[in-house]
């Protein structure tokens, strides 16, 4: 009898254990399924957000098609801006779709979007066209690098505290764009650095390149050039002698100038030796300055603060000589 009772109790406990295991298993399965459903729901919501961004990009394209009828800009310039927008938006949509298909990680996607979101960027540009004359818009449309100035012009007050150092725009050269919102809205010679600041920006680039001094920003140099007239300037010119001030600034930063005039051979020899040449635009043109030097591959490059795209091109010495009226070799002393 006792043996039978023990057997029955054993069977009872086995059943209890089996039932508990089944319950625990079902609970675990339920949790797993719930997690899967939750994860699938989150993924679905995330993909929905991505699709909304794709739709937003297409909305900007539609907005662009309609904007030409309402904005103060000629069709050729407007179409140039739209070409830029379509190019960037297509890349943006392809990246979104690649992420949705699991080809790139969420982290990589979010990092890229935080760096540049063309949907917001071109929406801002299209909205700001009315701030510019037809001539200004046409000028900006010729160079994609200038569009950033157009995009942020109405909020320029946010850029009235320029940084204390420059951030070089090229791996091999301390390139600075005068249209960079960091400096572009700051006053210079009755205008702004963006619109008239080729000289201070070019001086800033030369100092950064030759002396590795990134504190001589375009704004710092512009203030030196814009300082009150000296007694001699007032008496002789009635205006600032910018050439003398330029030489004084180079001397202050330990840079010597050697005037090469228009000597083709001297310019060629200086460039072949890795020299940095300050190029002055022909007389009668706006105060436009360039820097010429060879890059790491020995190609002649002309650094133009007004145009990054021009600065990325290879030049011939003949093209360079046609571009300037005076060539000055700059050297760190």
H/E element, 293: strand 289-294
pLDDT score of 56: 65
Segment 2-10 mean pLDDT: 50
Q: Hey, how many other C-beta atoms are within 10 angstroms of the C-beta on 149?
A: 24
Task: Please name each of the domains of the chain with its CATH number.
Answer: 1-142 (no CATH), 157-333 (3.90.70.10)
Q: 143-160, pLDDT tens digit by residue?
A: 777 787 788 766 666 667
Q: Name the pLDDT band for 235 (thresholds 50, 70, 90).
A: confident
pLDDT score of 205: 96
Report field, pTM of the whole predicted structure over 0.95: no
pLDDT score of 58: 64
Q: What secondary structure, in 3-state letters, does the chain show?
A: CHHHHHHHHHHHHHHHHHHHHHHHHHHHHHHHHHHHHHHHHHHHHHHHHHHHHHHHHHHHHHHHHHHCCCCCCCHHHHHHHHHHHHHHHHHHHHHHHHHHCCCCCHHHHHHHHHHCCHHHHHHHHHHHHHHCCHHHHHHHHCCHHHHHHHHHHHHHHHHCCCCCCCCCCCCCCCCCCCCCCCCCCCEECCEEHHHHCHHHHHHHHHHHHHHCCCCCCHHHHHHHHCCCCCHHHHHHCCCCCHHHHHHHHHHHCCEEEEEEECCHHHHHHHHHCCCEEEEECCCCCCCCEEEEEECCCCCEEEEECCEHHHHCCECCHHHHHHHCCEEEEEEEC
Q: 89-118, pLDDT tens digit by residue?
A: 778 778 777 877 788 888 887 887 777 777
Choice between 187 and 253, residue whose per-residue pLDDT is larger: 253
H/E element, 289: strand 289-294
pLDDT at 276 > cutoff 70 = yes
Q: 11-59, pLDDT tens digit by residue?
A: 444 454 444 444 445 455 455 445 544 555 655 665 666 666 666 666 6
Residue 112 Cα to chain centre, angstroms? 13
Q: Name the pLDDT band for 64 (thresholds 50, 70, 90).
A: low
Q: Name the pLDDT band for 316 (thresholds 50, 70, 90).
A: very high
Query: Between β-strands 300-303 and 289-294, what pairing exists: parallel, antiparallel or unpaired?
Result: antiparallel
Instruction: Kindly give, in sequence order, each residue whose CB lies less than 8 Å from that of residue 127, ignoring residues fewer than 6 positions away.
Output: none
pLDDT score of 172: 85
Query: Between β-strands 255-261 and 191-192, what pairing exists: parallel, antiparallel or unpaired?
Result: unpaired
pLDDT at 221 > cutoff 60 = yes
Tokens of 307: 């145009």
State the burial class of residue 330 (Cβ atoms within 10 Å of its Cβ: 0-12, 13-18, 19+).
buried
What span, in angstroms and rounded, lies between the C-alpha atoms of 108 and 27? 37
Helices (H) and strands (E) in the chain, counts: 14, 7
- Residue 62 dihedral angles phi and psi, to the nearest 5°: -65, -40
């Amino acid at each position: 009898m006792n043996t039978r009772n023990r057997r029955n109790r054993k069977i009872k406990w086995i059943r209890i254990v089996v039932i508990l295991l089944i319950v625990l298993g079902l609970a675990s399965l339920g949790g797993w399924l719930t997690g899967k459903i939750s994860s699938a729901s989150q993924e679905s919501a995330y993909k929905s957000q991505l699709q909304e961004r794709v739709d937003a990009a297409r909305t900007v394209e539609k907005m662009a098609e309609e904007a030409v009828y309402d904005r103060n800009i000629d069709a050729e310039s407007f179409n140039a801006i739209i070409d830029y927008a379509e190019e960037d938006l297509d890349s943006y949509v392809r990246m979104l779709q690649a992420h949705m298909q699991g080809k790139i990680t969420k982290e990589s996607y979010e990092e890229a979007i935080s760096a540049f979101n063309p949907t917001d960027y071109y929406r801002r540009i299209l909205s700001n066209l009315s701030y510019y004359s037809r001539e200004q818009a046409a000028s900006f449309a010729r160079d994609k690098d200038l569009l950033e100035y157009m995009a942020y012009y109405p909020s320029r007050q946010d850029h009235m505290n320029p940084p204390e150092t420059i951030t070089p725009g090229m791996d091999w050269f301390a390139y600075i764009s005068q249209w960079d919102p960091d400096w572009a809205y700051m006053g210079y010679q009755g205008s702004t650095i963006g619109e008239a600041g080729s000289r201070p920006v070019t001086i800033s680039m030369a100092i950064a390149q030759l002396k590795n001094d990134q504190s001589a920003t375009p704004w710092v140099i512009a203030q030196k050039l814009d300082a009150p007239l000296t007694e001699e300037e007032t008496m002789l010119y009635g205006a600032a002698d910018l050439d003398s001030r330029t030489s004084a600034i180079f001397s202050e930063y330990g840079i010597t100038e050697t005037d090469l005039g228009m000597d083709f051979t001297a310019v060629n020899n200086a460039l072949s030796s890795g020299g940095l040449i300050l190029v002055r635009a022909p007389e009668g043109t706006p105060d436009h300055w360039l820097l010429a030097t060879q890059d790491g591959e020995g190609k002649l490059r002309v650094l133009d603060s007004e145009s990054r795209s021009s600065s990325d091109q290879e030049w011939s010495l003949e093209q360079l000589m046609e571009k300037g009226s005076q060539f000055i070799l700059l050297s760190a002393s």
